[in-house]
């Protein structure tokens, strides 16, 4: 019995190390692909009644260079999403991310992607009136939270 429990323990520990390694590799990729320093930013997602919010803020309010880079990234991302271009999300998370196929299939204007600059970063507000697209947005946000965690959102 003890041998069986030890095998289970070590198998679970190995699986956790493997997951941690995959997450570290994704974080390394993010550091290389994003225009801002990931280690100097907080990224958060929250669901709302009509969609959700993605927010990236600087850990330091005085980090003006990083804040500008975050704002530029979010502005560009909102524009791309509005055109149905989710290639940046697919590079980070793959094409099978929950909700992504429905977001890509949405007609122009069915989902709104509004960029807003904040003093310490920026955010994208996602909104829709379509219940199926709302479910897709919420599934996508849940997957983002699972992947990134969710820092507390400021002044949204």
> Domain check: are 65 and 29 in the same one?
no
> Domain check: are 71 and 95 in the same one?
yes
Contact status, residue 57 vs residue 70, Cβ threshold 8 Å = yes
> Domain check: are 4 and 50 in the same one?
no
Residue 156: predicted pLDDT: 47
- pTM for the model stands at 0.77
Contact status, residue 83 vs residue 68, Cβ threshold 8 Å = no
> Domain check: are 126 and 75 in the same one?
yes
| Residue-range definition of the domain harbouring residue 24 | 1-33
Query: Is residue 155 in some structural domain?
Result: no
> Domain check: are 16 and 58 in the same one?
no
Residue 150: predicted pLDDT: 67
Query: Is residue 65 in some structural domain?
Result: yes
> Domain check: are 13 and 61 in the same one?
no
Query: Could you tell me which residue, 9 or 52, shows the higher pLDDT?
Result: 52
Query: Could you tell me which residue, 81 or 3, shows the higher pLDDT?
Result: 81
Give me the chain's average pLDDT, please. 82
Tell me the pLDDT band of 154, cut-offs 50, 70 and 90.
low
> Domain check: are 12 and 73 in the same one?
no
69 pLDDT more than 80: yes
CA distance from start to end of the chain: 54
Each residue's pLDDT tens digit, 82-129:
999 999 888 877 889 999 999 999 999 999 999 999 999 999 999 999
Q: How many domains does the chain have?
A: 2
Tell me the pLDDT band of 14, cut-offs 50, 70 and 90.
very low
Residue 6: predicted pLDDT: 33
Query: Is residue 94 in some structural domain?
Result: yes
* DSSP string for the chain: -HHHHHHHHHHHHHHHHHHHHHHHHHHHHHHHHSSS-GGGEEEEEEEETTEEEEEEEESSTT-HHHHHHHHHHHHHHHHHHHTT--HHHHHHH-TT-TTHHHHHHSPTTTEEEEEEEETTEEEEEEEES-HHHHHHHHHHHHHHHHHH--PPP---
Query: Is residue 154 in some structural domain?
Result: no
> Domain check: are 22 and 99 in the same one?
no
Specify which of 35-39, 89-93, 147-151 reaches the highest per-range mean pLDDT.
35-39
Query: Is residue 153 in some structural domain?
Result: no
Query: Is residue 156 in some structural domain?
Result: no
Residue 63: how many CA atoms within 13 Å on its side-chain side? 19
> Domain check: are 12 and 47 in the same one?
no
Query: Is residue 75 in some structural domain?
Result: yes
């Amino acid at each position: 019995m003890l041998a069986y429990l030890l095998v289970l323990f070590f198998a679970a520990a190995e699986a956790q190390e493997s997951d941690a390694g995959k997450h570290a590799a994704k974080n390394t990729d993010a550091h290389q692909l994003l225009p801002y320093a990931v280690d100097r930013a907080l990224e958060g997602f929250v669901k709302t009644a009509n969609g959700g919010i993605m927010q990236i803020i600087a850990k330091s309010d005085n980090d003006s260079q990083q804040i500008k880079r975050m704002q530029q990234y979010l502005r560009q991302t909102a524009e791309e999403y509005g055109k149905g271009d989710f290639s940046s999300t697919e590079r980070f998370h793959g094409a099978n991310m929950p909700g992504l196929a429905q977001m890509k299939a949405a007609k122009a204007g069915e989902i709104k992607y509004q960029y807003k600059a904040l003093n310490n970063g920026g955010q994208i507000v996602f909104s829709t009136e379509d219940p199926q697209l709302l479910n897709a947005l919420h599934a996508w946000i849940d997957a983002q939270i699972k992947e990134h965690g969710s820092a507390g959102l400021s002044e949204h």
